[in-house]
Amino acid sequence: MRIQMRTREKGMTLLEVVVSMLIIGLGIVMCISMMQASNRYGETAEYRATAINEIQSVVDRIRANSLGIDGYVWGKDGYQNTGYNINSVKEKKVSPLTCGKKCTTQQNLEHQAKGLAYTRAKADMEDWLGHVKTALPGGQAMIAKDGKNQYKVKVMWRANPEAEDTSAKSDEFVELTFAL
């Protein structure tokens, strides 16, 4: 009795190894892709949390110095039409109230208090805007008066600023409207 060996199966083990290596390689590539997406989403969440903290900071400053509210209104007229770069539009200037020679002592004191509050507000804004600029990539901010006592605070930043491809860069913002 003769035993026959099958010679047709000689390369089958090698083919199985190649297919399994291909599957393992695809799995590794997918794991790396998921880790990159996780890092990207974590970075976006960090920027959003920083922007929210900055907004809370300036709103607290405004509420503490409500007499100088006009000094906090900072931004650009028509910023909605200029897109991301709100600095491309002329800055809106707001000046404190002045009192003429016909003022009483009480009115003079009120105007002096408003002037000091306005000066404090401008110093707060300079500090806050500088902090927004350094805390967020391409960070910019504005505060606008929307209604009688309605104010809008908007903090913007550029997500993925290191990307060379401009289509990979995206503009993000957080906005809060509050009333005094």
pLDDT tens, residue by residue, 124-160: 988 998 899 899 988 888 888 887 788 999 998 887 6
Using 50, 70 and 90 to split pLDDT, how confident is the model at 8?
low
Residue 4 inside a domain? The answer is: no
**In contact, 51 and 141? CB cutoff 8 Å:** no
Q: Is residue 123 part of a domain?
A: yes
Parent domain of 172: 15-179
Residue 9 forms part of a structural domain: no
Residue 170 placed within a domain: yes
126 in any annotated domain: yes
Domain count, the chain: 1
Domain membership of residue 1 (yes or no) is no
Say how many CA atoms lie within 13 Å of 54 toward its Cβ: 30
Tally of CA atoms within 13 A in the half-sphere of 155 that contains its CB: 27
Cross-strand bridge partners of residue 153: 143, 176
The structure's pTM equals 0.67
Is residue 8 included in any domain, yes or no?
no
Burial zone of 69 (CB within 10 Å; 0-12 exposed, 13-18 middle, 19+ buried): buried
Q: What is the pLDDT of residues 56-115, one digit of tens each?
A: 999 999 999 988 888 888 876 544 444 445 454 444 454 555 666 777 878 878 888 888
Does residue 5 lie within any of the structural domains? Answer: no
